[in-house]
Amino acid sequence: MNLLLRYLPLGLLVLLLLVLLRRRAYKMCPCFFVYVAFGVAADVARFAVHDRPHPYYATYWITEAGYDLLGIIVMYEVLRMVLGNLTLAWWSRLILPAFAASGVGLSLVRAHAVPTQFGHGIAFYIFVGEIAVRFVQVFVFAGLVTFVPVLGLRWRQYSFGVATGFGLYATVALLINLKLSDFGTRFTFLWSVTSVVAYSVAVLIWIWFFSVPQKAKTSSPELSAPSPGDLKQYKDALRRMR
């Protein structure tokens, strides 16, 4: 695959990182900020060894494991931001573990039913873990879309933007990863191109969401003080009640 296309997400991630710094989004979304910074560093590391097969292989799978771990952490951050005060409830702490358990279960069932033809050893487990993470990201995105009216979530809110980018990319990545699992290296080129395009679209979504300041939540308007005329009427009513 052409190097320009392969490392297109790197340029978009750098732009996203600059946008996050400008909006000081690291204060509101610190885990997502770390994810983006890690993405820039990971792509730079891959580019540095792209012409050396063995170092690139090791670098690729190490960074993929990092992406998987940070992807789960960011999903926790999204849920925490969306649920707000509900995070104090004991049941809210079970949402992400339930999603994670479901994702791992579905990934293992898939791997058992259709043995993968791609990767061996530690690479196989990272690949299976990546599919599990994609399931979790799809679950979180679908849950937010379903309960937007209940949660009172604004469509242009940072947390929803993060979940949208991950959700759309995870849906595409999940489908192509399952195809890669079925067909192995025969599907590698199409998988690579589709992955790059889908991830680039996800980064563009994040740039769009973070391109404007997030509006603060509007609090309930304070009750206005009664006028002198109203106070006189209240006093007269109290006198008549005596």
The residue extents of the domains of the chain are 3-241
Nearest to 206 by CA among 11, 8, 22, 12: 12
Nearby residues of 96 by Cβ (< 8 Å), 6 or more positions away: 72, 75, 76, 79, 136
Average pLDDT score, the chain: 79
Residue 103 CB: number of other CB atoms within 10 A? Answer: 22
The DSSP element (H or E) to which 25 belongs, if any, is none
Asked if pLDDT for residue 115 goes beyond 50, the answer is yes
Residue written as token pair 């769009």: 208
The mean pLDDT of 35-39, rounded to a whole number, is: 97
The mean pLDDT of 209-232, rounded to a whole number, is: 57
Supply the pTM of this predicted model.
Answer: 0.80
- Report d(CA 89, CA 34) in Å as an integer: 27
Asked if pLDDT for residue 15 goes beyond 90, the answer is yes
Backbone φ and ψ of 155, nearest 5°:
-65, -25
Tokens of 124: 């196989």
Looking at per-residue confidence, does 187 or 105 come out higher? 105
- Report d(CA 46, CA 236) in Å as an integer: 81
- In the chain the first and final C-alpha atoms are separated, in Å, by 90
Asked if pLDDT for residue 237 goes beyond 50, the answer is no
DSSP E strand boundaries for the chain: none
C-alpha angle 67-71-77 in degrees, rounded to nearest 5:
145
Backbone torsion region of residue 218, taken as left when φ is above 0, otherwise alpha when ψ lies between -120 and 50, otherwise beta: beta
Residue 71 CB: number of other CB atoms within 10 A? Answer: 19
DSSP E strand boundaries for 44-202: none
| pLDDT score for 170 | 92
CA 170 from centroid of its chain's CA atoms: 9
| pLDDT score for 66 | 95
Handedness of CA 194, 197, 203, 208 (dihedral sign): negative
Looking at per-residue confidence, does 156 or 101 come out higher? 101
| pLDDT score for 101 | 92
Asked if pLDDT for residue 210 goes beyond 90, the answer is yes
Note the pLDDT tens digit of each residue in 61-111. 999 999 999 999 999 999 888 877 555 566 777 888 898 999 989 888 877
Alpha helices in 84-94 (DSSP H): none
Asked if pLDDT for residue 176 goes beyond 70, the answer is yes
The mean pLDDT of 209-238, rounded to a whole number, is: 55
| pLDDT score for 183 | 56
